[in-house]
Homo-oligomer: A and B are copies of this chain.
């Protein structure tokens, strides 16, 4: 019979070079570079709440880490290591192998080795908890409370695809077959800009990840910074696979759709060219979507019809 220790050894214990002590003691031991600060965040993913029970295990392993890497990216931090807590309904070796593959593949790409965690039986359903740790030079973290009036407002990646993808999986939305795979991939395999983000420290004032939707998370950034913003609706990067939606549906997906593990950041106008060059160099799509204002609230320019303004502005884990 498989024990907890076998599960850990078999699927999650990898030699992590440069880590003084990883999986296998009471705790992991990590070095922090001199004059750097530790950045840390945790996310909990629950079956039927954050993912459907038939989610492919490799994409779930990827996503569990990706949503956490997105939080590090939002601070401009470089990944250091992660911990994984798994509550498993049963020991399914095929499932574990694929989950571990998805997790480790992203961990390797992001230089964020798995150094510890916990494994237990969870009869009520799968529980996936990830904690990430990263580092930033002292005082250099990108915070959400540092936006300045007249900063450009930027976004990485595209908007709305994960939201539409989820509605497709729920059977509430149909899309052309040509777009189906792309939408599901955006939902299940988010690619936060974890390599690009640390470069933003040199040019950006404030940043936040927009995992709860653009309007809600931009709202948090502006509230923390005591500012407002003017958005140009026409500049919002709606994902190519959702551009066939009718206007009101599209506006809802783009403005409120969550599960977007991308960044919204603010930067002074003089850095516009540098940001475009950095984005090109790191193959990250960036869009300048408006500007920060002293005037509070979010004004949306060029929205084709006032009725397109969604009444509900983002995802909340208790309201939804």
Q: Which A residues are closer than 8 A to B by beta carbons?
A: 1-5, 7, 20-21, 24-32, 34, 36-44, 46-50, 70-72, 74-75, 77, 81, 83-87, 91, 115-125, 127, 129, 131-134, 136, 138, 141, 143-145, 207-209, 224, 316-319
Rounded to whole angstroms, the CA-CA distance of A148 and B95 in the bound complex is: 40
Query: Is the Cβ of B318 less than 8 Å from the Cβ of A134?
Result: no
Rounded to whole angstroms, the CA-CA distance of A3 and B281 in the bound complex is: 40
Known contacts A25-B143, A38-B38, A43-B85; 9 additional CB pairs below 8 A are: A3-B316, A3-B319, A7-B318, A21-B143, A25-B144, A40-B83, A41-B83, A46-B87, A47-B124
Using Cβ atoms and an 8 Å threshold, which residues of chain B touch A84?
42
Using Cβ atoms and an 8 Å threshold, which residues of chain B touch A316?
3-5
Known A-B contacts A74-B27, A123-B49; the reply to A41 vs B85 at CB < 8 A is no
Closest to A34 in B: B34
Using Cβ atoms and an 8 Å threshold, which residues of chain B touch A40?
27-28, 30, 81, 83, 115-116, 131, 133
Known A-B contacts A40-B83, A87-B44; the reply to A318 vs B27 at CB < 8 A is no
Known A-B contacts A5-B316, A143-B21, A144-B25; the reply to A30 vs B34 at CB < 8 A is no
State the copy count for this chain: 2
Rounded to whole angstroms, the CA-CA distance of A81 and B41 in the bound complex is: 12
Using Cβ atoms and an 8 Å threshold, which residues of chain B touch A21?
141, 143
Indicate which residue in B31, B32, B77, B120 contacts A317 across the interface (CB closer than 8 Å): B120
Rounded to whole angstroms, the CA-CA distance of A21 and B25 in the bound complex is: 29
Query: Is the Cβ of A26 less than 8 Å from the Cβ of B318?
Result: no
Using Cβ atoms and an 8 Å threshold, which residues of chain B touch A39?
27-30
5 contacts between A and B (CB under 8 A): A27-B77, A40-B83, A40-B133, A41-B116, A48-B124
Known A-B contacts A39-B28, A75-B25; the reply to A49 vs B208 at CB < 8 A is no
Rounded to whole angstroms, the CA-CA distance of A310 and B116 in the bound complex is: 30
Rounded to whole angstroms, the CA-CA distance of A20 and B75 in the bound complex is: 13
Q: Report the minimal beta-carbon distance from A320 to chain B, rounded to whole angstroms.
A: 8
Query: Is the Cβ of B29 less than 8 Å from the Cβ of A141?
Result: yes
Indicate which residue in B48, B50, B72 contacts A27 across the interface (CB closer than 8 Å): B72
Closest to A42 in B: B83
Query: Is the Cβ of A144 less than 8 Å from the Cβ of B26?
Result: yes
Known A-B contacts A4-B317, A7-B318, A75-B25; the reply to A37 vs B31 at CB < 8 A is yes
Known A-B contacts A40-B116, A115-B40; the reply to A27 vs B134 at CB < 8 A is yes
Query: Is the Cβ of A38 less than 8 Å from the Cβ of B44?
Result: no
Query: Is the Cβ of B118 less than 8 Å from the Cβ of A44?
Result: yes
Rounded to whole angstroms, the CA-CA distance of A47 and B303 in the bound complex is: 48
